[in-house]
Chain A
Amino acid sequence: MLVLNRKKGQSICIGEQIRITVVDVQGDYIKIGIDAPREVGVYRQEIYREIVAANMQAAAAKPGQEPHHLLDDLFKAQLETTPR
Protein backbone atom coordinates (compact mmCIF):
# COMPACT_ATOMS: atom_id res chain seq x y z
CA MET A 1 0.00 0.00 0.00
CA LEU A 2 1.25 3.45 -0.87
CA VAL A 3 1.32 5.61 2.26
CA LEU A 4 1.45 9.39 2.01
CA ASN A 5 1.50 12.09 4.66
CA ARG A 6 -1.01 14.87 4.07
CA LYS A 7 -1.94 17.96 6.06
CA LYS A 8 -5.37 19.49 6.39
CA GLY A 9 -6.25 21.12 3.07
CA GLN A 10 -3.84 19.01 1.04
CA SER A 11 -4.94 16.57 -1.64
CA ILE A 12 -4.04 13.35 -3.40
CA CYS A 13 -4.79 12.78 -7.07
CA ILE A 14 -5.56 9.30 -8.37
CA GLY A 15 -5.25 9.45 -12.12
CA GLU A 16 -6.58 12.58 -13.71
CA GLN A 17 -10.15 12.42 -12.53
CA ILE A 18 -10.12 11.52 -8.86
CA ARG A 19 -8.98 13.88 -6.12
CA ILE A 20 -9.09 13.18 -2.41
CA THR A 21 -8.73 16.12 -0.05
CA VAL A 22 -8.20 16.12 3.71
CA VAL A 23 -10.87 18.60 4.74
CA ASP A 24 -10.51 18.45 8.50
CA VAL A 25 -8.85 16.49 11.27
CA GLN A 26 -10.37 16.23 14.74
CA GLY A 27 -8.72 13.67 17.00
CA ASP A 28 -9.45 10.21 15.53
CA TYR A 29 -11.77 11.60 12.87
CA ILE A 30 -10.60 12.72 9.47
CA LYS A 31 -13.02 14.47 7.16
CA ILE A 32 -12.28 13.59 3.55
CA GLY A 33 -13.55 15.26 0.40
CA ILE A 34 -13.72 13.24 -2.81
CA ASP A 35 -13.98 14.58 -6.34
CA ALA A 36 -14.68 11.78 -8.80
CA PRO A 37 -16.57 11.31 -12.06
CA ARG A 38 -20.21 10.33 -11.66
CA GLU A 39 -19.57 6.85 -13.02
CA VAL A 40 -17.23 6.05 -10.15
CA GLY A 41 -18.96 4.60 -7.11
CA VAL A 42 -17.68 5.91 -3.78
CA TYR A 43 -18.79 3.90 -0.77
CA ARG A 44 -17.87 3.41 2.85
CA GLN A 45 -16.05 0.12 2.90
CA GLU A 46 -17.96 -1.40 5.82
CA ILE A 47 -21.30 -0.75 4.09
CA TYR A 48 -20.10 -2.22 0.82
CA ARG A 49 -18.74 -5.32 2.60
CA GLU A 50 -22.01 -5.81 4.42
CA ILE A 51 -23.87 -5.76 1.11
CA VAL A 52 -21.44 -8.23 -0.46
CA ALA A 53 -21.96 -10.59 2.49
CA ALA A 54 -25.75 -10.19 2.37
CA ASN A 55 -25.85 -10.86 -1.38
CA MET A 56 -23.75 -14.00 -1.03
CA GLN A 57 -26.02 -15.25 1.70
CA ALA A 58 -29.14 -14.47 -0.34
CA ALA A 59 -27.74 -16.33 -3.34
CA ALA A 60 -26.63 -19.30 -1.26
CA ALA A 61 -30.06 -19.90 0.24
CA LYS A 62 -31.31 -23.22 -1.01
CA PRO A 63 -34.96 -23.42 -0.23
CA GLY A 64 -36.85 -26.53 -1.29
CA GLN A 65 -37.89 -27.16 -4.85
CA GLU A 66 -40.82 -24.83 -4.68
CA PRO A 67 -40.28 -22.10 -2.13
CA HIS A 68 -42.79 -19.79 -3.73
CA HIS A 69 -45.99 -21.35 -2.46
CA LEU A 70 -44.72 -21.35 1.08
CA LEU A 71 -43.76 -17.67 1.01
CA ASP A 72 -47.06 -16.76 -0.64
CA ASP A 73 -48.93 -18.76 2.01
CA LEU A 74 -47.12 -16.90 4.76
CA PHE A 75 -47.89 -13.59 3.08
CA LYS A 76 -51.57 -14.43 2.85
CA ALA A 77 -51.63 -15.58 6.47
CA GLN A 78 -50.06 -12.28 7.46
CA LEU A 79 -52.65 -10.30 5.50
CA GLU A 80 -55.40 -12.13 7.36
CA THR A 81 -53.96 -11.61 10.81
CA THR A 82 -52.88 -7.99 10.38
CA PRO A 83 -55.36 -5.78 8.59
CA ARG A 84 -53.56 -2.83 7.00
Chain B
Amino acid sequence: MNCMKIKSKYLEEIEIESDQIIFFPEGLPAFEEERQFVIIPFAADSPFFYLQSVRKEQLCFILADVFTFFPHYEIEINNRELRRLKIREGGKGSLNVFALLTIPEIFAETTANLLAPLIINFDQQVGIQYIPQLSRYHTKHPLFEDSILSPAQGVR
Protein backbone atom coordinates (compact mmCIF):
# COMPACT_ATOMS: atom_id res chain seq x y z
CA MET B 1 0.00 0.00 0.00
CA ASN B 2 1.42 3.33 -1.02
CA CYS B 3 1.14 6.46 0.98
CA MET B 4 1.15 9.84 -0.71
CA LYS B 5 0.66 13.46 0.15
CA ILE B 6 -1.70 15.60 -1.87
CA LYS B 7 -2.67 19.24 -1.66
CA SER B 8 -6.32 19.92 -1.06
CA LYS B 9 -8.57 22.92 -1.45
CA TYR B 10 -9.93 23.00 2.08
CA LEU B 11 -7.63 20.80 4.14
CA GLU B 12 -4.18 21.93 3.04
CA GLU B 13 -1.86 18.97 2.64
CA ILE B 14 -3.37 15.58 3.36
CA GLU B 15 -1.87 12.13 3.48
CA ILE B 16 -3.73 9.43 1.61
CA GLU B 17 -3.25 5.75 0.98
CA SER B 18 -3.43 4.45 -2.57
CA ASP B 19 -6.35 2.21 -1.60
CA GLN B 20 -8.37 5.32 -0.70
CA ILE B 21 -8.34 6.61 -4.26
CA ILE B 22 -11.62 6.27 -6.15
CA PHE B 23 -11.39 6.00 -9.93
CA PHE B 24 -14.05 7.67 -12.05
CA PRO B 25 -13.56 6.04 -15.48
CA GLU B 26 -15.43 8.87 -17.22
CA GLY B 27 -14.70 11.68 -14.82
CA LEU B 28 -17.59 13.96 -13.91
CA PRO B 29 -19.50 16.00 -16.52
CA ALA B 30 -17.61 19.30 -16.96
CA PHE B 31 -14.54 17.74 -15.30
CA GLU B 32 -13.99 14.70 -17.49
CA GLU B 33 -10.22 14.90 -17.32
CA GLU B 34 -10.10 14.34 -13.56
CA ARG B 35 -10.41 10.63 -12.88
CA GLN B 36 -9.00 10.16 -9.39
CA PHE B 37 -10.56 11.47 -6.21
CA VAL B 38 -10.48 10.79 -2.50
CA ILE B 39 -13.56 10.97 -0.30
CA ILE B 40 -12.81 12.37 3.14
CA PRO B 41 -15.48 12.70 5.84
CA PHE B 42 -15.75 16.01 7.69
CA ALA B 43 -15.67 14.11 10.96
CA ALA B 44 -16.12 10.54 12.15
CA ASP B 45 -19.93 10.66 12.38
CA SER B 46 -20.59 13.40 9.83
CA PRO B 47 -22.88 12.89 6.82
CA PHE B 48 -20.68 15.35 4.88
CA PHE B 49 -17.60 14.54 2.84
CA TYR B 50 -14.99 16.21 0.70
CA LEU B 51 -14.50 14.87 -2.80
CA GLN B 52 -10.98 16.04 -3.48
CA SER B 53 -9.27 15.59 -6.83
CA VAL B 54 -5.94 13.84 -6.38
CA ARG B 55 -4.29 15.77 -9.19
CA LYS B 56 -5.96 19.16 -9.07
CA GLU B 57 -5.72 20.91 -5.74
CA GLN B 58 -8.43 23.46 -6.49
CA LEU B 59 -11.03 20.87 -7.50
CA CYS B 60 -12.96 19.79 -4.43
CA PHE B 61 -16.66 19.13 -4.08
CA ILE B 62 -18.69 18.83 -0.92
CA LEU B 63 -20.87 15.73 -0.72
CA ALA B 64 -23.68 14.61 1.51
CA ASP B 65 -24.81 11.08 2.18
CA VAL B 66 -28.09 11.03 0.27
CA PHE B 67 -30.10 8.70 2.48
CA THR B 68 -29.29 10.63 5.66
CA PHE B 69 -31.09 13.65 4.26
CA PHE B 70 -33.50 12.02 1.84
CA PRO B 71 -34.45 8.66 3.33
CA HIS B 72 -37.06 8.04 0.63
CA TYR B 73 -34.67 8.66 -2.26
CA GLU B 74 -34.91 6.05 -4.98
CA ILE B 75 -32.66 5.33 -7.87
CA GLU B 76 -32.75 2.63 -10.48
CA ILE B 77 -29.31 1.59 -11.66
CA ASN B 78 -29.18 -0.30 -14.93
CA ASN B 79 -26.84 -3.11 -15.87
CA ARG B 80 -24.55 -0.85 -17.84
CA GLU B 81 -23.89 1.28 -14.76
CA LEU B 82 -23.52 -1.76 -12.53
CA ARG B 83 -20.89 -3.10 -14.87
CA ARG B 84 -19.04 0.20 -14.76
CA LEU B 85 -19.19 -0.06 -10.98
CA LYS B 86 -17.66 -3.54 -11.23
CA ILE B 87 -20.71 -5.33 -9.95
CA ARG B 88 -21.56 -8.40 -11.99
CA GLU B 89 -25.07 -9.05 -13.19
CA GLY B 90 -26.92 -10.76 -10.38
CA GLY B 91 -23.82 -10.29 -8.25
CA LYS B 92 -23.64 -8.74 -4.84
CA GLY B 93 -21.85 -5.62 -3.75
CA SER B 94 -22.21 -2.57 -1.63
CA LEU B 95 -22.72 0.87 -3.14
CA ASN B 96 -22.79 4.27 -1.51
CA VAL B 97 -24.82 7.14 -2.87
CA PHE B 98 -23.74 10.75 -2.40
CA ALA B 99 -25.13 14.05 -3.63
CA LEU B 100 -22.96 16.91 -4.81
CA LEU B 101 -23.80 20.02 -2.84
CA THR B 102 -23.97 23.62 -3.96
CA ILE B 103 -23.18 25.80 -0.98
CA PRO B 104 -24.26 29.42 -1.24
CA GLU B 105 -23.14 32.21 1.08
CA ILE B 106 -25.96 31.34 3.43
CA PHE B 107 -25.08 27.78 4.34
CA ALA B 108 -28.62 26.93 5.41
CA GLU B 109 -29.66 27.33 1.77
CA THR B 110 -27.35 24.55 0.61
CA THR B 111 -28.83 22.38 -2.12
CA ALA B 112 -28.21 18.80 -3.18
CA ASN B 113 -28.07 17.48 -6.73
CA LEU B 114 -30.36 14.46 -6.62
CA LEU B 115 -30.69 14.30 -10.40
CA ALA B 116 -27.15 13.03 -10.86
CA PRO B 117 -25.82 11.43 -7.67
CA LEU B 118 -22.40 9.91 -7.23
CA ILE B 119 -22.46 6.16 -6.83
CA ILE B 120 -19.36 4.67 -5.26
CA ASN B 121 -18.19 1.10 -4.91
CA PHE B 122 -15.62 1.50 -2.16
CA ASP B 123 -14.58 -2.17 -2.28
CA GLN B 124 -13.56 -1.83 -5.92
CA GLN B 125 -12.45 1.83 -5.62
CA VAL B 126 -14.60 2.89 -8.53
CA GLY B 127 -17.27 5.54 -8.90
CA ILE B 128 -19.60 7.19 -11.39
CA GLN B 129 -21.83 10.20 -11.55
CA TYR B 130 -25.13 8.67 -12.50
CA ILE B 131 -26.82 10.40 -15.43
CA PRO B 132 -30.44 9.34 -15.66
CA GLN B 133 -32.50 9.20 -18.83
CA LEU B 134 -35.42 10.78 -17.00
CA SER B 135 -35.81 11.59 -13.34
CA ARG B 136 -38.31 13.01 -10.92
CA TYR B 137 -35.40 14.73 -9.15
CA HIS B 138 -33.54 17.90 -10.05
CA THR B 139 -30.18 19.48 -9.27
CA LYS B 140 -31.24 21.78 -6.42
CA HIS B 141 -33.08 20.06 -3.60
CA PRO B 142 -32.82 22.05 -0.35
CA LEU B 143 -30.75 20.07 2.12
CA PHE B 144 -32.14 21.64 5.25
CA GLU B 145 -35.73 22.12 6.23
CA ASP B 146 -37.41 25.49 6.45
CA SER B 147 -37.26 25.53 10.24
CA ILE B 148 -33.49 25.76 9.98
CA LEU B 149 -33.72 28.65 7.56
CA SER B 150 -35.34 31.07 9.96
CA PRO B 151 -33.07 34.05 10.67
CA ALA B 152 -33.70 33.52 14.40
CA GLN B 153 -31.26 30.62 14.24
CA GLY B 154 -28.55 33.03 13.29
CA VAL B 155 -26.50 30.35 11.60
CA ARG B 156 -24.90 30.93 8.29
Q: Which residues of A contact B (CB under 8 A)?
A: 38, 41, 43-44, 47-48, 50-59, 61, 63, 65-75, 77-78, 81-82, 84
* B156 beta carbon closer than 8 Å to chain A: yes
Chain B contacts for A52, CB-based, 8 A: 29-30
Q: Which residues of B contact A68 (CB under 8 A)?
A: 10, 42-43, 46, 48
Contact of B2 with A by CB under 8 A: no
Contact A51 B29, beta carbon cutoff 8 Å: yes
* Least Cβ–Cβ distance between B122 and chain A, in angstroms: 21
A-B interface, 10 closest residue pairs, ranked by CB to CB distance from nearest: A68-B42, A54-B139, A52-B30, A51-B116, A55-B30, A61-B103, A58-B100, A52-B29, A51-B29, A38-B80
Main secondary structure on chain B at its contact with chain A?
A: loop
Q: Which residues of A contact B156 (CB under 8 A)?
A: 70
| Besides A53-B139, A55-B30, A59-B60, 20 other A-B contacts (C-beta < 8 A) | A43-B131, A51-B30, A53-B30, A54-B115, A55-B100, A57-B102, A58-B61, A58-B100, A58-B101, A58-B113, A59-B31, A59-B61, A61-B104, A65-B10, A67-B10, A75-B47, A75-B48, A77-B155, A78-B148, A84-B71
